Amino acid sequence: MRPEAQAPEHDPEELAALLGRVKRLALGVRARHLNRQSGQYRSRFRGQGMEFDEVRQYQAGDDIRHIDWNVTARSGRPFVKVYREERQLSVMLIVDASGSMGCGGINDSRSKMVAAAEAAAVVALIALQNGDKVGLNIERQGQLRHVPCRRGRNHLLRILREILVTPQRHGEGDLAKLVQESARALQRPGCMVVISDFLDPVLGLETALGHAGRSHQMLGLRVVDPSEEALPSGGGPLNLADPEYAGQRVFAGGRRAARAYADLWQQQRAAVEAAFVHAGCDLFDLRSDSDVVMDISRHLQRRARRSRRR
């Protein structure tokens, strides 16, 4: 149970406003700041493998396994395929659309779903600036909605629309299953960015992260709304709603209830953090009342500093 702060379904005006902010960001409102993060991003996430570059005539010492037999047959002389290191990366955004992601939107904060869309936009913009492809996996009414990894600003806007038009569903989410299916959707090693409030049971998540992390680079962005961090400490009854089951109950307030809630909140956070640590994956928080661009930039800077010390 969490304090009742569920935002209404996203309307066209809200979607238009977010798309406007993203377009301004893409056109350079903070492009210089994002460009400064490109080096940190590239040091954190690297492409893997080799890709075809050209065909040239065979030279002594070339690997005969790379002979292009079709060109060789046509020309009557041996030719080999030349490969180069692949720098391009496929970045898969995995966005939680469970009911709790619709919470927020009070005290000058935005809903967690809008914050998640902004985070997805920032990650995608940085990736696209580095020549990488970006895709999306999100669950819509029990069905996985898959947007393939591609480039381009129009593709980015399509991803954001998919995130914001997806209604927050009732019932517990299965984030572990979504991670597993997303890992299978990437045909070669890439990067998976999981954006969620991680309030669902942790059971199975650590295993899914660990398995996916064997082939892909992993990053978790935990969206936190300030209204969920603590119950009011004053007396009087509290009307609490569970957005994932559409149920409401009235509880007695007071300090004891506030302490019990705080304990449960910290236990859930610790369990999620332990799952990421054990799986060898990064996790950091994004607050729905803070600047997502700056939060992600600071994380990339910290990661870059840690990488240089290793």
pTM above 0.85, yes or no: no
pLDDT tens digits, 133-164: 999 999 866 778 899 999 987 888 888 888 88
pLDDT tens digits, 115-129: 898 899 888 888 887
pLDDT tens digits, 40-93: 455 455 544 555 667 889 888 888 888 999 999 999 999 998 875 555 788 999
Query: Which superfamily is assigned to 2-46+88-309 in CATH?
Result: von Willebrand factor, type A domain (3.40.50.410)
Q: What is the pLDDT of residue 167?
A: 60
Q: Which residues contact 308 (CB under 8 A, 6 or more apart)?
A: none
**Structure-model confidence comparison of residues 199 and 104, the more confident one:** 199
CA distances from 19 to 12, 104, 159, 254 (A): 10, 19, 11, 42
Structure tokens at 202: 């942790």
Q: Which residues contact 237 (CB under 8 A, 6 or more apart)?
A: 250, 251, 252, 253
Q: What is the pLDDT of residue 129?
A: 79
β 247-252/237-242 pair status: antiparallel
User: Is the pLDDT reported for residue 239 higher than 80?
Assistant: no
Long-range CB pairs of 281-286, under 8 A, 24+ apart, other chains included: 281/209, 281/213, 281/218, 281/219, 281/220, 282/218, 282/219, 282/220, 283/219, 283/220, 283/221, 283/222, 284/220, 284/221, 284/222, 285/222, 285/223, 285/224, 286/115, 286/119, 286/221, 286/222, 286/223, 286/224
Q: With beta carbons less than 8 A apart as the criterion, state whether 273 and 205 touch.
A: no
Q: What is the pLDDT of residue 86?
A: 53
Q: What is the pLDDT of residue 260?
A: 85
Average pLDDT for residues 257-263, to the nearest whole number?
A: 85
3-state secondary structure of 84: strand
In percent, the amount of the chain with pLDDT more than 70 equals 67
Structural domain boundaries in the chain: 2-46+88-309, 50-85
Res. 35 pLDDT band, cuts 50 70 90: very low
Res. 272 pLDDT band, cuts 50 70 90: very high
Q: Which residues contact 200 (CB under 8 A, 6 or more apart)?
A: 96, 98, 100, 172, 173, 174, 175, 244
Range with the poorest average pLDDT among 12-16, 26-30, 125-129, 288-292: 26-30
User: Is the pLDDT reported for residue 7 higher than 50?
Assistant: no
β 79-85/247-252 pair status: unpaired
Q: What is the pLDDT of residue 246?
A: 58
Q: What is the pLDDT of residue 26?
A: 52
Res. 39 pLDDT band, cuts 50 70 90: very low
Give Dmax over CA atoms of the chain in angstroms. 90
User: Is the pLDDT reported for residue 269 higher than 60?
Assistant: yes
User: Is the pLDDT reported for residue 237 higher than 90?
Assistant: no
Q: What is the DSSP letter of 147?
A: E
3-state secondary structure of 82: strand
Average pLDDT for residues 158-183, to the nearest whole number?
A: 79
Counted residue by residue, the chain has a size of 310
User: Is the pLDDT reported for residue 108 higher than 80?
Assistant: no
Average pLDDT, the chain: 77
CA 291 to chain centre: 16
